[in-house]
Amino acid sequence: MRNIVILISGSGSNMAAIAQVAEREQWSANLDARVCAVISNRPQAKGLQTAHAMELPTHVVDHQAFADHPAPRTAFDHTLMQAIDAHQPTLVVLAGFMRILTPAFVAHYAGRLINIHPSLLPAFPGLNTHQRAIDAGCRFAGATVHEVTADLDHGPILAQAVVPVLPGDDAHSLGKRVLAQEHLIYPKAIADWLRHITVNP
């Protein structure tokens, strides 16, 4: 069985969408894959409650616990890697995980670490993507599933969804429509990735 570990920081809506599709489409039987754990860097993340309700194992690696460490990011990522590797993951999925990962972490999971970003990359990497798209006068926005590399919000694109920017849109209204598309394309991109490595191990 190929294990998928999902990392979250907040509501976990993408995590829930992935887990629901995995169950509905019987990934365990059809793709020899399962969501085996949800890990958060925030103890109060709402997504942990959702994961519990879905009977998914959860774990917390609180980044604030490393604030006094001489190299807090490195120490946090090392501890996070230990928590992830305990599940022997085939794929590590960032689903609203709001941490910039160290190059060593990214290298450790090279080729099996993916992320979803709320813009049509390469446009608008980083934060505040919806407001930036509106401010730039974009007629379209969207979301991108991509492999993670050491460069922030770069890496090979696996899937994209396009959403029109409507007259009167603000960041909240545009963000809600983009998020609805994220819930559709992220599980599909993961299933496609799993099928690909089934054919080309």
Return the SS3 of 132: helix
Taking the C-alpha atoms of residue 37 and residue 51, their distance in angstroms, rounded to an integer, is 9
| Closest to 131 measured CA to CA, from 94, 160, 165 | 165
What contacts 77, CB < 8 A, 6 or more positions away? 101, 102, 104, 105
Q: Choose, from 69, 78, 87, 117, the residue flagged as catalytic.
A: 117
Tokens representing 141? Answer: 């926005």
Tokens representing 150? Answer: 């050491």
Residue 183 half-sphere exposure toward CB, CA atoms < 13 A: 13
Contact of 7 with 42, CB cutoff 8 Å: no
Contact of 193 with 91, CB cutoff 8 Å: yes
Decide if 117 is catalytic.
yes
Query: Catalytic site residues?
Result: 117
